[in-house]
Structure 1
Amino acid sequence: MGGMMGTMRGDRMMRAGSRSGGLDVGFGFKFDSTKIYTHGHADRSLDVKPDGMRLYSIDISSLKVKQWDFGVAWDTSTLTAGSDFSMSGIASSPWGLKFKPDGTRFYVNELNNNRVYQYDMSTPWDVASASSSGLSDAIVTQDRNIDIGADGAKLYATQGRDIGQYNMSTPWDITTLTLEKTASNIVPFGDNLDHAHFSSNGMNAYATWSRGSSEGIRLFQLSEAWDVSSIIDTGRQIHLAEIDTDISGAQAVYFREDPDTPEFIVFFPNRIYKVTL
Structure 2
Amino acid sequence: MLTFIGLGLYDEQSVTVEGREALRAADRVFAEFYTSRLVGADVDDLEAAHGIDVEVRDREGVERDPDAILAAAEAGDVAFCTAGDTMISTTHTDLRMRAEDRGIDTRVIHGVTAQSAASSLTGLQNYRFGKAVTLPFPYAHGGDDVPGSVIEAIEANRERGLHTLVYLDIKVGTGPTGPDPDHEEYMTAAYAADLLADGWADELGVVIARAGSPDPVVAADRLSALADRTFGDPLHMLVIPGDLHHVEAEALVGLADAPETVLEE
Task: Tell whether the structures are fold-level matches, with TM greater than 0.5.
Answer: no
Higher relative contact order (CA 8 A, sep 6+): 2
Q: Which has the higher helix share?
A: 2
Q: Which has the higher strand share?
A: 1
Q: Bigger radius of gyration, 1 or 2? A: 2
